[in-house]
Homo-oligomer: A and B are copies of this chain.
Amino acid sequence: MKSHLSKLGQRTVEPPISWLMHAALSQPDLISLAAGFTDNPSLPIAETRALLNEILRSPKTGQPALQYGITAGETNLRQLTARHLQKLDDAGATSKSHSWERVMITGGSQQLLYMTLEALCDEGDIILVEDPTYFVFLSILQSRGIRARGVRLERNGLNLAHLECVLQSLKRSGELCRVKMLYLVSYFQNPTGATTSFRKKRGILKLLKKFERAAGHPIYLLEDAAYRELRFKGPDIKSALMVRGAAERVIYTGTYSKPYAPGARLGFGLLPEPLFTSVQRIKGNHDFGTANLLQQLLAGALATGLYDKHVAKIERRYGQKARVMKQALAEHFPANVEIWESGGGLYFWARLPKNVSSSVKSKVFQTALKNDVLYVPGEICYADDPARAKPDNEMRISFGSASEENIRKGIARLGAVLRKFL
């Protein structure tokens, strides 16, 4: 009998990261600098316990926490989320693009990315992405038959001249009508750690606007701010919600998973109409709304100030881990490896000389695995884009979940492997 799965079912391949995880499980001494997991010892266990105790102390607060709620999320948490973003952006309480009615609460920001693509894109449509970008986002595009076009990413963010080039070339080839959105991981990007400046965000929106007439429809900017609050160096940068006209064109997604707790998985998004309504209906079909108990928990954390305290604590923690990694890299990595150091997030990015491959099948990767250390090959973070070959000489190295000792050891092991091949 022939395959009876849907086209989507057939296109949804095993995620590239999953066999890395399997490898990690089967080697007990392996140090993983691959996973994007967060730091275990600083998870807010006592805080969560206290908050849940408070919520479940009485039927008055306990019943709504355990009952069904509203598809878009609890009003209280939506309002607290809007206020939190207003504060981060130093926006007025009247900022239209920060209004709480535009906030949707989801089971992690990943769910919002998924549903936004469902609402916006048909098979064959085109999404512009940073080159390289978040590889799970690429998996979603692949599974839905959506095409990706890469825009060059530099240490200080997206290359605007190249963005214009890509848009021009799509216009020439008659494909601009398929371009729906640019996806930007704007803070301490996954995988490179790069941050895009506010000036550049404004430039991106201006360029997208310029090409809208030829496209025949809006071209959105999806700003994925997943790592924004894991910042340990430098000032915060304003989000694209602060650009004039953002309320009509910017989709902003954020998460409480990484700054608070992945196990209480919550994300959120702010969406312009008609996208908000469409995504809300789609969420009704997915799950009618995210678990209220988790929403009440985060609302409690935000309202009491526990959330802010916790974020300050983990910022120090990741800052310390990043310093340890930086020092170890300086000590153990060959000098001709280019390191992109980040002021936040969970990742450093390393570029080997162009003729040295770091891909899954490379000698570097296989030898590293044999020596019990794992990284994410940069190659899997590049979209299938006919306009260029995929670079295969890079690596994403995470300081998120490994202990300081394991960061030192892991980088020493990896450095030894690199010295062998460079």
- Chain A interface residues toward B at CB < 8 A: 1-9, 12-15, 18, 37-38, 40-41, 43-46, 48-49, 52-53, 56-57, 59, 62-69, 107-108, 110-111, 114, 118-122, 125, 136, 139-140, 143, 180, 212, 216-218, 261-265, 274-275, 278, 281-282, 284-288, 290-294, 296
Contact = CB atoms under 8 A, between A and B. Distances in A.
B119 A6 contact: yes
B120 A285 contact: no
Given A43-B66, A263-B292, A287 B56 contact: no
B52 A67 contact: no
B139 A262 contact: no
Given A107-B291, A286-B111, A263 B218 contact: no
Given A7-B122, A66-B263, 4 more contacts: A5-B274, A15-B281, A265-B292, A291-B291
18 contacts: A1-B212, A1-B217, A2-B216, A3-B274, A4-B180, A5-B274, A6-B122, A12-B119, A38-B67, A41-B59, A48-B66, A49-B62, A52-B56, A64-B263, A65-B263, A108-B287, A263-B291, A263-B296
Contacts of A265: 287, 290-292
A285 B217 contact: no
A69 to B, nearest CB: 7
Nearest to A266: B291
Nearest to A220: B4
Given A4-B218, A45-B63, A66-B43, A143 B285 contact: yes
A49 B57 contact: yes
A134 to B, nearest CB: 12
B66 A44 contact: yes
A41 B261 CA distance: 30
Contact of A290 (B52, B64, B107, B293): B107
Nearest to A57: B49
Contacts of A45: 56, 59, 62-63, 66
3 tightest CB-CB pairs across the interface, nearest first? A4-B217, A45-B62, A49-B56
Contact of A263 (B8, B67, B114): B67
Contacts of A5: 119-120, 274-275, 278
B119 A8 contact: yes
A63 B40 contact: yes
B37 A67 contact: yes
Contacts of A118: 6, 8-9
Contacts of A12: 119, 278, 281-282, 285
B66 A264 contact: yes
A263 B143 contact: no
